[in-house]
Structure formats: structure tokens, C-alpha cells
């Protein structure tokens, strides 16, 4: 596991170096050198390489390798899930409000005008409750060679289901799709590649990637009024993070037994047991390791370190701590919780409610951990080319163009102007740095991408929140399931690889 993480850290640090974001792998001044899409894409800013007109546009952003113009003179049909629609597309008859919506419109219009297409959306429900129906509808279409759709945008677990059913082209064989370009983050592509085949990916093409990153939040007013700095040798929460001391133990020290007898107050809150996923990855663990397309059950799962960590997280979720609660995010919004675990998207509501807060990385399992890590929720759109696409050149060209155009027109607005500043209420340089650390700490696990087939992603979260078995251990979960997991990993490789 450590070797894989070191490889990932160095790999993505290289991407960020290309973008001018970080200075070196393992740099202690920037402990989050393992990057994710939005910062690695959008930090390649004006002036970087701008003297080469063949490679960079007038603002200094890397250009794609597509034709300058092309006239397909065609509709371009995208089959997509509608639960996240407002964060990806703007309907033609919609009233456009706010710069994000304006940039979404600009991205679409630029692609349409450049390549002579009219993008049309076929929208159906496709979230967790509807994912199988979403895929089955697509399968009925594809397997009948109806050639209806040119591109598919789907909820993350739906992508794995579709890949297992053979509904998509290998993106490596799709013309014009260029994984070497920065709008397709290498870590995601690496994680989703089985054998030498890649059936879905994501990146700058969708704002859902940055919105749904798991993080911690801290109410900075409560941090100050409760004197929590005294528990960290007088340091601000920002310095605790910079000093690589933001660990599970530190969260427990600051969040348990510190709110006194204040009625309705909590030290730590979570929405539900889904947040346990973020603690799992935050602790530096993986379920499946993908090494050059070969899937392996992670050695982490049989370690005593994970067994001990499981017990600590279980104490948070089902222990007897009076000031730790699974409750709604409204408790944090109402300024009644010091720390809260959720997704970055929730910062919008906290800002609207007037909370002074900062986003923080997920705590590390211990100070021996080399970097901060987290995961993204399933609410991220993955893109695929259906295997009956009528014009493969058009599908590849428009997919690449949507990623390229978003990289230059949308990502900065989403990453910097929207989340990093507007929806970061304690919006000084310190909290902006915390946002950078969080967004650069995301890892991806093949077990989550193929959630339905492997059926192992929920084992940790279910175990730590199981009130019926207070003495339950990770070793018992692993002992009863690891053989099944290994068989399912082999099945995925056999069908997809």
C-alpha cells in the first residue's frame, strides 16, 4: 500500500508541477502532493508556456490537438443522469444566473460552434436508487444497435455496471481522446484501467468532481471561543494541518469533551455512516490496489493497523461520547458543532447561513502518515462512449473538446472563484490553502468504481456503525469476506481486462 501511495503521490505531484502548483514530491510545506483533477487542471494559468502559439492559447492555457474547426452538421446526443444536471448543463430555455451557469453555457456553445454539432440531452434518473435501471435502458438501446447516443454521462457506480456489461468502447481506442492532456487526470484513468482497457473517465469535463470531495469542516469561531488552540500548543487549526499533526487523535482531543455543558452543542458531527468512507481513505488505506491495470486486494485489509483504526472510528460512530453525533448538516449550519465531516458542496449552505468556517483535510490515522488523503462521493459523473456509437470520430472529438473547453473556461471559475473563495466563509489565505490541500488529497479506489460487482466498499462503513455488534472487529469482517472479494476481483479482470 505504501509503495502504491508513494507512486501516486509522485505521479500527481508531477502533474501539479506541470501546472505550477507544487514544488516537489513530499514537500513538507505542501503536504498534499497527491493531487486531484480541479487543482491540477486549473492551475496551469495565464503566462505559463504562453510564448508557444502552437501549444497554448492567448491566455496561456494548453490547447487541445483537435482540428481548429470541423462541421459535423449533426445533433450530438448525450444520455445522462438528471440528479446532477444543474451542475453540468444549462437547458436552452433556462434563465442563466451566476457565473458558473454562464461558464457552462459558454463551454457548450463554444464546442457546438467549433464542431458544427447541437448537443442534446436525454435525461433520466440514474443515482444510487436508479443506477441499474439507467444502465438497463442503455443496454437495451446499445444491444439493439439503435445508435441513439453519442456519449454517456453517468453516476459513478453506473459506469462500472455498464463496463461489466460490455456497453462501452475502450477509450484508448477512441479517436481524438487524449489521456496525455491535463483535463483527464491520470490518477482516475489509472484507477479505472483494467488490464489495458479504460471504459470511463472524468475530469474537468464536470464540476461534480470537486463538489463531491469529502472533507472536514471547522467552525473557526467555536475553535477560538472554546480555546482549542490551547490543546495544540497554542497553534491555529491551520498550523496543526501544516505541521502534519492533524490526526484522528487530534480530532478526538479537540472534539470530545471540549464543549462543556452547552445544550445542543457537539464537538463532532456526521450526516451518516457514509462519512466513514472518508475516514477510511483519510487513514491511508485502500480496498483494492490497481498496479498497471492489475487488480490486487490491498495488504492494508489484513493489517493490525487497520484493525486498531477500525476500533477507533467505531467509537466515534457508535461509542458513548455525548458530544459526537450522527445528525444533519443543519447542526453545523446552526453553529452548534465544532467539527463536521461532509462534502465540499455543503460549504455553499454554510456560507449562506453565515457560519465562519474552514474546510480541512480528513485527519490522518497517525503522525507517521506521510500525506493527507480523502475520497470523492459517488456523485461524480463518469463519461463513456457507447459501443454502438454511430460516428466514433464525432464521439471522440466532442468528448475531448468538452474536457478541453471546460479546462479553459470552467475549471478556474468552479475551483477558485466559486468554492475556494465564495463558498469558503473564512476566506483568508489560510483557509484557501486548506481548500488546496483537501482538493489535492483525493485518491480513487477501483473497489468504489466497480462498487456493485465487488460489493466491498460499504464493509468498513457498515462495520463501524453497527450498533447490533458493539464488539465487532475489522478482522472478523475481513476473515469472512476476503476470499469472496478475491474471486470478484478476478471476475472483473476476466470480463473487463
138-155 confidence digits (pLDDT tens): 999 999 999 999 999 999
Judged against a pLDDT cut of 70, whether residue 93 lies above it is answered with no
Judged on CB neighbours under 10 Å (0-12, 13-18, 19+), 4 is middle
**Beta strand residue intervals within 271-326, DSSP E:** 288-291, 294-297, 324-326
**pLDDT bracket for residue 497 (50, 70, 90):** confident
What backbone torsions phi and psi does residue 306 show, to the nearest 5 degrees? Answer: -70, -35
Q: Which residues are CB-contacts of 63 (< 8 A; sequence separation ≥ 6)?
A: 55, 56, 57, 404
Instruction: Give the pLDDT band of residue 373 (cuts 50, 70, 90).
Output: very high
pLDDT attached to residue 281: 98
Locate all alpha helices (DSSP H) within 74-130, ordered by sequence. 99-115
Domain made up of 62-210+380-422: CATH architecture? 3-Layer(aba) Sandwich (3.40)
Q: Between β-strands 337-343 and 214-219, what pairing exists: parallel, antiparallel or unpaired? A: antiparallel
Largest CA distance in the chain: 69
Q: What is the mean pLDDT of the chain?
A: 88
Residues 432 and 42: their CA atoms lie apart, in Å, by 15
pLDDT tens for residues 68-84? 999 999 999 999 999 98
- 3 pLDDT band, cuts 50/70/90, is very low
Place of cell 464536470: 206
User: What mean pLDDT comes out for the span 332-346?
Assistant: 96
Parallel, antiparallel or unpaired: strands 357-360 and 214-219: antiparallel
Fold matches, 62-210+380-422 and 214-369+447-496: yes
Given a cut of 80, whether residue 122 has pLDDT beyond it is: yes
Pairing of strands 74-81, 117-124: parallel
Res 233 pLDDT > 90: yes
> What's the pLDDT at 16?
33
Three cell numbers written together for 430: 489560510
Q: How confident is the model at residue 54 (pLDDT cuts 50, 70, 90)?
A: confident
Domain chopping of the chain, boundaries: 62-210+380-422, 214-369+447-496
d(CA 359, CA 339): 10
- Per-residue pLDDT, 416: 85
Instruction: Write down the pTM of the prediction.
Output: 0.88
Q: Which of 412, 480, 455 is nearest to 21 (CA)?
A: 412
Task: Please name the fold of domain 214-369+447-496.
Answer: D-Maltodextrin-Binding Protein; domain 2 (3.40.190)
CB 396 within 8 A of CB 466: no
Burial class (CB in 10 A: 0-12, 13-18, 19+), 44: buried
Is it the case that residue 65 has pLDDT exceeding 60? yes
pLDDT in tens, 278-327: 999 999 999 999 999 999 999 999 999 999 999 999 999 999 899 999 99
pLDDT at 384: 98
What are the pLDDT digits (tens) for 167-182? 999 999 999 999 999 9
Residue 123: Cβ-neighbour burial (10 angstroms; 0-12, 13-18, 19+): middle
Residues contacting residue 4 through CB under 8 Å, at least 6 positions apart: 286, 289, 291
Amino acid at each position: 500500500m505504501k509503495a502504491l501511495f508513494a507512486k501516486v503521490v509522485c505521479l500527481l505531484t508531477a502533474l501539479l508541477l506541470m501546472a505550477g502548483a507544487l514544488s516537489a514530491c513530499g514537500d513538507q510545506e505542501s503536504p498534499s502532493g497527491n493531487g486531484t483533477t480541479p487543482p491540477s487542471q486549473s492551475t496551469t494559468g495565464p503566462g505559463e508556456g504562453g510564448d508557444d502559439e502552437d501549444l497554448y492559447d492567448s491566455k496561456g492555457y494548453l490547447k487541445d490537438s483537435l482540428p481548429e474547426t470541423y462541421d459535423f452538421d449533426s445533433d450530438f446526443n448525450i444520455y445522462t443522469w438528471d440528479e446532477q444536471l444543474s451542475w453540468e448543463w444549462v437547458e436552452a430555455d433556462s434563465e442563466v444566473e451566476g457565473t458558473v451557469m454562464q461558464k457552462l453555457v459558454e463551454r457548450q456553445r463554444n464546442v457546438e460552434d467549433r464542431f458544427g454539432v447541437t448537443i442534446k440531452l436525454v435525461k433520466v434518473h440514474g443515482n444510487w436508487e436508479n443506477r441499474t435501471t439507467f444502465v438497463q435502458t442503455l443496454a437495451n438501446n446499445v444491444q439493439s444497435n439503435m445508435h441513439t447516443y453519442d456519449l454517456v454521462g453517468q453516476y459513478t457506480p453506473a459506469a462500472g455496471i455498464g463496463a461489466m456489461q460490455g456497453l462501452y468502447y475502450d477509450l484508448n481506442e477512441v479517436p481524438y481522446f487524449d489521456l496525455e492532456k491535463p483535463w483527464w487526470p491520470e490518477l482516475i484513468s489509472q484507477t479505472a484501467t483494467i488490464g489495458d482497457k479504460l471504459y470511463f473517465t472524468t475530469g474537468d469535463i464536470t464540476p461534480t468532481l470537486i463538489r463531491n470531495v469529502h472533507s472536514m469542516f471547522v467552525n473557526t469561531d467555536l475553535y477560538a471561543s472554546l480555546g482549542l488552540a490551547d490543546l495544540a500548543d497554542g497553534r491555529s487549526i491551520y498550523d496543526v494541518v501544516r505541521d502534519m499533526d492533524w490526526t484522528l487523535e487530534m480530532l478526538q482531543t479537540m472534539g470530545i469533551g471540549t464543549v462543556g455543558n452547552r445544550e445542543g452543542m457537539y464537538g463532532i458531527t456526521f450526516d451518516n455512516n457514509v462519512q466513514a468512507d472518508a475516514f477510511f481513505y483519510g487513514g491511508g488505506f485502500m480496498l483494492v490496489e490497481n498496479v498497471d491495470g492489475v487488480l490486487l486486494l490491498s495488504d492494508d485489509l489484513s493489517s493490525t493497523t487497520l484493525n486498531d483504526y477500525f476500533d477507533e472510528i467505531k467509537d466515534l460512530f457508535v461509542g458513548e461520547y455525548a458530544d459526537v453525533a450522527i445528525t444533519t448538516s443543519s447542526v453545523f449550519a446552526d453553529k452548534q458543532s465544532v467539527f463536521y465531516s461532509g462534502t465540499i458542496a455543503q460549504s455553499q449552505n454554510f456560507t449562506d447561513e453565515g457560519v465562519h468556517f474552514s474546510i480541512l483535510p480528513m485527519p490522518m490515522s497517525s503522525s507517521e502518515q506521510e500525506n493527507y488523503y480523502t475520497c470523492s462521493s459517488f456523485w461524480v459523473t463518469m463519461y463513456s462512449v457507447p459501443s454502438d456509437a454511430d460516428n466514433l470520430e464525432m464521439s471522440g472529438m466532442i468528448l475531448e473538446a468538452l474536457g478541453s473547453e471546460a479546462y479553459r473556461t470552467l475549471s478556474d471559475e468552479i475551483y477558485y472563484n466559486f468554492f475556494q473563495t465564495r463558498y469558503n466563509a473564512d476566506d483568508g489565505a489560510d483557509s484557501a490553502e486548506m481548500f488546496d490541500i483537501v482538493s489535492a488529497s483525493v485518491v480513487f479506489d477501483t473497489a468504489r468504481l466497480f462498487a456493485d460487482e465487488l460489493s466491498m466498499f460499504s464493509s468498513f462503513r457498515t462495520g463501524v456503525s453497527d450498533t447490533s455488534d458493539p464488539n465487532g472487529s475489522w478482522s472478523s469482517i475481513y476473515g469472512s469476506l476476503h476470499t469472496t472479494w478475491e474471486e470478484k476481483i478476478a471476475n472483473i479482470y476476466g470480463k473487463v481486462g
